[in-house]
Amino acid sequence: MKAITLLGSTGSIGTQTLDIVAQYPDQFRIVGLAAGNNVELLASQIRQFRPSIVAICSEEKLPALKEAIKDFAPQPIILAGDAGVIEVARHGDAETVVTGIVGCAGLLPTIAAIEAGKDIALANKETLIAGGPVVLPLIKKYGVKLLPADSEHSAIFQCLQGVPDGGLRRILLTASGGAFRDWAVDKLTEVTVADALKHPNWSMGRKITVDSATLMNKGLEVIEAHFLFGLDYENIEIVIHPQSIIHSLIELQDTSVLAQLGWADMRLPLLYALSWPDRIYTNWERLDLVKIGSLTFREPDHQKYPCMKLAYAVGRAGGSMPAVLNAANEQAVALFLEEKIRFLDIPRCIELVCDRHESDNRPNPSLDDILAADKWARQEVLKATEKLENRLRIISLR
Ligand code: MG
């Protein structure tokens, strides 16, 4: 039975991971759970999965959590705050830590888990995008595995099983096209938060759903693929595939192309990250190609979605630049979700902040450099937008 710790247990990744654990109680057990601030859901997860340690990130929620499970035995160790989440990440005999925390907040707990010798089921791409230059050497140093749980990277990882070193030539990342794939460019000025949160295919958290609408999610995934699979950026391509049935493809040196297919269900990549290298029988709905009928593909529209090109440029620049891109995006998306900036301001904010960082880019950043770049970029986005009399208009770039 595999022992698992889950960071971000009340979010979209967390609840889907626990669905899997509940379905396969003879395969998986929970050692630790960490959540942001949802006391009620965390308390019910503690009762169901009986972890030995838990943490709630929001410190003011600690008394409520203790109260909610005071009659429950055995009592887990109960912690709070960022330090509590880090303690959960490194605690006990968990073999794999699933990182479902949103954003760069997942970086320090992930590093703690690696240093404690745990394999990482990576559902938090921001960890690798911001922290790649620090995380990858640690993975090597501690001899742990980094198992991708992002659907595209899981697809690539699955296709790569059995491919010899040096066999990979090109990665083709598929993209659904997000909420606005069929909208005219000029209509994007009127986008509301509710519009951006309507993903056509996937059910995911709010931040990543907005990232899918701007196509920044795909840009971030290009950088994630570079770090995970070691290909140069010119060999990582994006193709729009509106049905989201092919989750990505790889081309081998001899031009043979392999793909992984399935319904758009995050449980499948999560299950593979947990069961690798084994395959577990499931009774989930099986793929029906006749029902799907056709699979179509088109070129990404870089005019309409500038975030993809931004991500390629930043990925090539490397160093602390991806951390800046990621942080600027997180902050801009948060402002958009609070209805303080418009949809089209998101790429403008990111480009502005990345431009300003160019002369300060550190080629081999330390963890402190990355954390400083992250903090700086968030402040720059806030500064750039707070000068507006009314934030609800499009900022001008320069
Ligand atoms: Mg993905």
Report how far ligand 1's centroid is from the alpha carbon of 259 (Å).
15
Query: Around 78, how many Cα atoms within 13 Å sit in the side-chain half-sphere?
Result: 21
Report how far ligand 1's centroid is from the alpha carbon of 66 (Å).
35
Beta strand extents in 8-51 (DSSP E only): 28-35
Span 347-384, pLDDT tens digits: 999 999 999 999 999 999 999 999 999 999 999 999 99
DSSP assignment of 273-323: HHHTTS-----SPPP-HHHH-----B---TTT-THHHHHHHHHHH-TTHHH
Report how far ligand 1's centroid is from the alpha carbon of 244 (Å).
10
Residue 387: which pLDDT band, with cuts at 50, 70 and 90?
A: low
Q: Region 196-202: what's the mean pLDDT?
A: 85
Span 64-87, pLDDT tens digits: 999 999 999 999 999 999 999 999
Report how far ligand 1's centroid is from the alpha carbon of 69 (Å).
35
Report how far ligand 1's centroid is from the alpha carbon of 221 (Å).
7
Hey, CA dihedral for 25, 28, 32, 34, is it positive or negative?
A: negative
Backbone angles phi and psi of 84, in degrees to 5: -65, -45
Structure confidence at residue 304 (pLDDT): 92
Q: What is the Cα–Cα distance from 316 to 337, expressed in whole angstroms?
A: 29
Report how far ligand 1's centroid is from the alpha carbon of 232 (Å).
19
Span 335-345, pLDDT tens digits: 999 999 999 99
Q: What is the Cα–Cα distance from 220 to 131, expressed in whole angstroms?
A: 13
Report how far ligand 1's centroid is from the alpha carbon of 124 (Å).
10
Report how far ligand 1's centroid is from the alpha carbon of 31 (Å).
26
Which comes out higher in pLDDT, residue 391 or 166? 166
Report how far ligand 1's centroid is from the alpha carbon of 224 (Å).
10
Span 268-323, pLDDT tens digits: 999 999 999 999 999 999 999 999 999 999 999 999 999 999 999 999 999 999 99
Structure confidence at residue 396 (pLDDT): 45
Query: Around 255, how many Cα atoms within 13 Å sit in the side-chain half-sphere?
Result: 0
Q: What is the Cα–Cα distance from 263 to 89, expressed in whole angstroms?
A: 31
For residue 7, the Cα-to-chain-centroid distance in whole angstroms is 13
Q: Are strands 257-261 and 246-252 parallel, antiparallel or unpaired?
A: antiparallel
Instruction: Name residue, tokens 């299950």.
Output: 271
Report how far ligand 1's centroid is from the alpha carbon of 381 (Å).
25
pTM: 0.94
Report how far ligand 1's centroid is from the alpha carbon of 77 (Å).
33
Task: Specify whether the backbone of 131 is left (phi greater than 0), alpha (psi in -120 to 50) or beta.
Answer: alpha
Residue 255: which pLDDT band, with cuts at 50, 70 and 90?
A: very high
